[in-house]
Amino acid sequence: MVTKLLLRPALLGLIVVATGCSSAAAPPVAPQGSLPEARPAIGNPVSKYIKHVVVIIQENRSFENFFAGYRGANARKYGCAAGSGARRHPRPFRRISGFNTASGCPSGDTEVPLHSIGFDGPDLAHDWNASMTDWDNGKMDGFYKYGENHGPDEAYAYVRRALIKPYWDMAEEYVLADEMFPTEFGGSFTGHLTLVAGTDDLTVNQAEVDFPSEPPDDCDSPPGTKSSYLDPSRHVHRFVGPFPCFDQWRTMAQDLDSARVSWKYYATSVLDGGMWEPYEASKYVRYGPDWRKDIIAPQKKVLTDASNGSLASVTWVSPTKADSDHPAAHSDLGPSWVASVVNAVGESSYWPSTAIIVLWDDWGGWYDNASPKQLDYRGLGIRVPCLIISPYAKETSAGQPGYVSHTQYEFGSILKFIEEAYNLKPLGQTKTGYSDQRATSIEDSFDFTQTPRKFTAIPSKYPISHFLHEPPSNEPVDTE
């Protein structure tokens, strides 16, 4: 088994060299207190129709890595690389009819056709510094710089549709959001924290970044473990932050508990779940009663909880490494795993009152053309796919399934939707770093006036029985 402890020294050697240039790319960003404060609409239709929210989290894919060529979405099949020398072996460029290729590349950049790959793609760099390079001050043309191992165009790729057919089937039946952005640039650790808290700010001038110095990246890390933090100039302070057992911010756990709304987080392991079980890094959960009753392992229990009537009001589901879509897993199980969870909920008594959100925790280093708006010094980060599945998922203007939402969402948009469903106040104010108050709720991807649709099972290569009998795994899903 490959562990984080074995991998991190190599990563550290690569990362520290780049840290000094982090602040150079800092753009003008809106001060956190200057944005309009959008509040949840207490008593709105969400709370009338939605009684269960299920958030399924996958790993390390950009929107175009999975949905390049999706009709009606901002999903082009070519990328941009800075300078004419970016590609050693240029292919002839060809525009493909029916695909969105509206926006060209910045002047002087090279157009790079996205090539098709399977699930055996490379594990590209996807930490803070890699995201700064890829983003390149909004030009989205630095992705080639992390492709030297297998050729400079290896990040310019999309997974063959046949391999991810369950995701395309979900998009064509429900809602595909093509403007979902993480709260922060960088990888899994901060992605998962912000999916349950809407922030990772230690102070008004310090935010968590990348990952701690020792696994498992949480309250159970060895004594002396240090996290890293980011300052407003976008300089990374490596391994000098606090021990990763946080009480510097509120999470949804506090608010759901206070409102007596049930919740569960399904993870591959109760202990040492690491960054894929972010509540283990929350002092409130790790050392409170939630730890033994609301953190559920192994993650496959969600399949039987849905069918036997034990689903909580709010559910987060994370995968094993093999089921994670992570390129380093070299596995095609991920789409079938997600389909199994969706089918388990869809075929249960919960379906009529449920919203399922499927999204990926970070872009994984893969090319994406959408330049994220910079709302504060943390981000927004590079775009990820998002699927919204519900009896009330919005249909097209012609009354057909397969709606594409072009609304700008961020991870806080999901938290805001949960707040609307259960009449909760925001976790905190935008000026103190919380993103749920400023975010646009995913509510506009629903139509509560339409006739609720019946659920039809999503076909998949691997049946639900495969996952019900899958052996437990303690292998880390990702190390970045």
User: What CATH number is attached to the domain comprising 282?
Assistant: 3.40.720.10
pLDDT digits (tens, 9 = 90+) for 1-47: 333 333 443 343 333 333 334 444 445 454 444 444 444 444 578 99
In a domain, 377, yes or no: yes
Helix (H, G, I), strand (E, B) or coil at 163: helix
Could you tell me which of 177, 207, 176, 183 has the C-alpha nearest to residue 410?
Answer: 183
Amino acid, single-letter form, for residue 154: E
> What's the pLDDT at 152?
75
Q: What is the pLDDT of residue 313?
A: 98
Residue 5 resides in a domain? no
Distance of alpha carbon 426 from alpha carbon 362, whole angstroms: 24
Asked whether the beta carbons of 32 and 136 are under 8 A apart, the reply is: no
What gap in Å lies between CA 395 and CA 399, rounded to an integer? 5
Given a cut of 80, whether residue 147 has pLDDT beyond it is no
241-296 pLDDT per residue, tens? 999 999 999 999 999 999 999 999 999 988 887 767 999 999 999 999 999 999 99
Q: Is the pLDDT of residue 55 over 70?
A: yes
The token pair that represents 322 in the structure block: 């093999």
Here the tokens at position 270 are 């109760």
Out of 237-241, 266-270, 464-468, least confident range: 266-270
Give me the pLDDT at residue 89, please. Answer: 39
Give the pLDDT confidence score for residue 278 in this predicted structure: 96
Question: Is the CB of residue 97 less than 8 Å from the CB of residue 132?
Answer: no
Residue 141 lies in a domain: no
pLDDT bracket for residue 150 (50, 70, 90): low
The answer to whether 355 touches 53, Cβ cutoff 8 Å, is yes
Q: Picking from 91-95, 283-287, 298-302, 443-447, which range would have the lowest pLDDT averaged per residue?
A: 91-95
How confident is residue 336, by pLDDT bands cut at 50, 70 and 90? Answer: very high
pLDDT at 27: 52
* Partner residues linked to 422 by β-bridges: none
Is a pLDDT exceeding 90 seen at residue 94?
A: no
Residue 433 located in a structural domain: yes
Is 151 among the domain residues? Answer: no
> Measured between alpha carbons, how far is 335 from 156 in angstroms, rounded to an integer?
21
DSSP of 360-407, one letter per residue?
A: ESS-TT----PPPP--BTTB----EEEEEE-TTB---TTS-S-EEE-S
Q: What is the CA radius of gyration of the chain?
A: 21
β-pairing verdict for 263-266 and 314-317: parallel
Q: What is the pLDDT of residue 196?
A: 98
The pLDDT score that the predictor gives to residue 148 is 54
Domain that holds residue 407: 27-67+161-468
CA angle at 35 for the pair 32 and 38, rounded to the nearest 5°:
120
171: in domain:
yes
Write out pLDDT tens, residues 298-335.
999 999 999 999 999 999 999 999 999 999 888 999 99
Decide if pLDDT at 233 tops 70. Answer: yes
The residue whose two tokens read 């002396």 is 224
- pLDDT tier at 84 (50, 70, 90 boundaries)? low
Is the pLDDT confidence value at 131 over 70?
yes
Cβ–Cβ under 8 Å, residues 317 and 341:
yes
CA distances from 335 to 171, 275, 464, 467 (A): 13, 21, 12, 12
Question: Total domain count for the chain?
Answer: 1
The answer for 122, left when phi > 0, alpha when psi is -120 to 50, beta otherwise, is beta
- Structure letter (DSSP) for residue 460: -
Instruction: Show Cβ contacts of residue 323 under 8 Å, excluding neighbours closer than 6 positions.
Output: 331, 333, 334, 337, 467, 470
- Establish if 393 belongs to a structural domain: yes
Distances (CA, A) of 294 to 256, 288, 302, 460: 12, 10, 12, 29
Q: Is pLDDT of 344 > 70? A: yes
pLDDT band at residue 416 using 50, 70 and 90 as cut-offs: very high
Q: What is the mean pLDDT of residues 81-93?
A: 53
Rounded Cα–Cα distance for residues 366 and 68 (Å): 12
- Structural domain contains residue 403: yes
Q: What is the rounded CA–CA span in Å between residue 381 and residue 306?
A: 33
Packing angle of the helix pair 165-173, 334-346 (nearest 10 deg): 40
Task: Give residues with Cβ within 8 angstroms of 293, minimum separation 6.
Answer: none
Q: Which residue has the higher pLDDT, 443 or 92?
A: 443
Q: Report the greatest alpha carbon distance in the chain.
A: 60
Burial status of residue 308 (CB atoms within 10 A of its CB: 0-12, 13-18, 19 or more): exposed
Please give the structure tokens belonging to residue 279: 């509540």
All residues at 6 or more sequence positions from 15 whose CB lies less than 8 Å from its CB, including other chains: 127, 129, 210, 238
Per-residue pLDDT, 101: 40
Tokens read off for 393: 């998922």
Residues 6 or more apart whose CB falls under 8 angstroms from that of 411 comprise 181, 182, 183, 191, 194, 195, 198, 435, 439
Per-residue pLDDT for 175 more than 50? yes
Residue 411 CA to residue 196 CA, distance in Å, equals 9
Side chain identity at residue 45, one-letter code: P
Nearest Cα to Cα of residue 407 among 380, 429, 439: 439
pLDDT over 70 percentage in the chain: 85
> What is the residue-averaged pLDDT of the chain?
88
DSSP-derived letter for residue 107 is T
| Burial class of residue 140, CB neighbours in 10 A (0-12, 13-18, 19+) | buried
